[in-house]
């Protein structure tokens, strides 16, 4: 799984609260399941890849896992606990591969702390850092375009523009009419069909009123950490006014084969989290601090080495 995926999870957590009174603890799991085609009934012939995706997306979790375990050694699961107390947020994740990682966000200071416990490292990112990252990314794109011949440069610009517009408008969500209880929550199924992936969202009624608070706080987040990211809407926006308990994404890649990612909220507790969850460890605990940019550079060097 992507090492920075937890930051996206943190972004979802940030949408849950809009006042100092908001106090919650969420438990979440995330894992990827390789597709085992032995699950297909004999003689099955799909009309197109979307129909194939729908078949696997509607299989039970137990059947998917059982078939995956029979074909592969293990399935890595990322377990996360999301702590929310007013304008303080923390996401604590645990996986066998990466160990314990914590993301802490303080809205008032506009700071994010990324804690890697096994390395005893804390990486810091401010609003100014985010703005600098965006400026550097834009400069890199402009430099790349400037090195192209004029005719290729215009084609590249048009392709980038078309891709952004396509991503913004491509998602059409449909209520399928299917109902199921997921992790103790009664849910309705929604489906989104894309060019390279199909997504199902099992959404529950928003009895705690969490989703209603999402819009105002996501606006706060966008003001602090502005980016030019034109990716598709997240599941909270797609099922506005409901809680996306489970999200399944079936990705169709002709190069590496099909695979499915599953993300689920397994528990929601309205309670006051421990205060220490929102404090990054320091020198007293044997931790050193560095910039978020340094961490990104280390990750890029690691990729080049591989």
The per-residue pLDDT string of the chain (306 residues; one tens digit each, 9 = 90 and over) reads: 344 444 444 444 444 434 445 688 889 999 988 888 888 888 888 888 888 899 999 998 888 888 877 766 678 889 999 888 877 888 899 988 889 999 898 777 778 899 999 999 999 888 777 777 778 878 888 888 888 888 887 877 777 766 554 444 456 889 999 999 999 999 999 999 987 889 999 999 876 666 655 444 444 444 444 444 444 566 777 887 888 999 999 988 777 778 899 999 999 888 899 989 999 999 999 999 988 777 777 766 655 555
If you search the block for the tokens 């409901």, which residue do you land on?
Answer: 242
Q: Between vectors from CA 265 to CA 262 and to CA 267, what angle results, nearest 5°? A: 145
What DSSP element (H or E) covers 180?
Answer: strand 173-182
Report the CATH number that the domain containing residue 209 is assigned in CATH: 2.50.20.10
DSSP, res 40: S
User: How far, in Å, CA of 26 to CA of 303, rounded?
Assistant: 32
**Residue 284 is part of which domain span?**
5-305
Tell me how many domains the chain contains. 1
Q: Which residues, in sequence order, are CB contacts of 265 under 8 Å at separation 6+?
A: 26, 27, 28, 183, 243, 244, 245, 246
> Cα–Cα distances in Å, from 127 out to 7, 87, 142?
15, 16, 23
User: How far, in Å, CA of 296 to CA of 290, rounded?
Assistant: 11
How many other CB atoms sit within 10 Å of the CB of residue 152? 11
> Cα–Cα distances in Å, from 194 out to 137, 169, 171, 184, 205?
27, 10, 7, 29, 25
Quick one: pLDDT at residue 13? 44
User: How far, in Å, CA of 46 to CA of 55, rounded?
Assistant: 9
């Amino acid at each position: 799984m992507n090492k920075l995926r937890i930051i996206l999870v943190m972004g979802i957590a940030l949408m849950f609260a809009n006042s100092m009174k908001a106090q919650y603890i969420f438990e979440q799991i995330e894992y990827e399941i390789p597709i085992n085609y032995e699950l297909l009934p004999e003689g099955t012939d799909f009309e197109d890849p979307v129909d194939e995706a729908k078949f696997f997306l509607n299989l039970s979790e137990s059947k998917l896992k059982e078939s995956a375990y029979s074909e592969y050694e293990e399935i890595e699961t990322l377990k996360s606990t999301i702590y929310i107390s007013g304008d303080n947020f923390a996401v604590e994740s645990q996986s066998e591969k990466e160990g314990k990682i914590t993301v802490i966000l303080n809205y008032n200071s506009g700071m994010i702390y990324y804690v890697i416990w096994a390395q005893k490292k804390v990486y810091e990112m401010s609003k100014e850092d985010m703005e600098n990252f965006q400026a550097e990314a834009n400069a890199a794109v402009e430099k790349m375009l400037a090195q192209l011949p004029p005719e290729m440069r215009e084609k590249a610009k048009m392709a980038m523009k078309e891709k952004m517009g396509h991503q913004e408008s491509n998602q059409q969500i449909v209520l399928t009419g299917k109902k199921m209880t997921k992790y103790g929550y009664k849910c309705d199924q929604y489906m989104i069909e894309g060019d390279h992936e199909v997504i199902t969202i099992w959404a529950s009624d928003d009895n705690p009123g969490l989703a209603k608070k999402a819009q105002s706080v996501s606006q706060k987040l966008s003001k602090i950490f502005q980016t030019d990211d034109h990716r598709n809407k997240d599941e909270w926006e797609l099922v506005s006014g409901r809680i996306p308990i489970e999200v399944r994404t079936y990705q169709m890649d002709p190069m590496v084969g099909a695979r499915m990612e599953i993300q689920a909220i397994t528990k929601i507790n309205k309670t006051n989290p421990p205060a220490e969850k929102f404090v990054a460890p320091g020198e007293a605990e044997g931790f050193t601090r560095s910039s978020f940019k340094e961490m990104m550079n280390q990750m890029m060097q690691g990729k080049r080495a591989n």
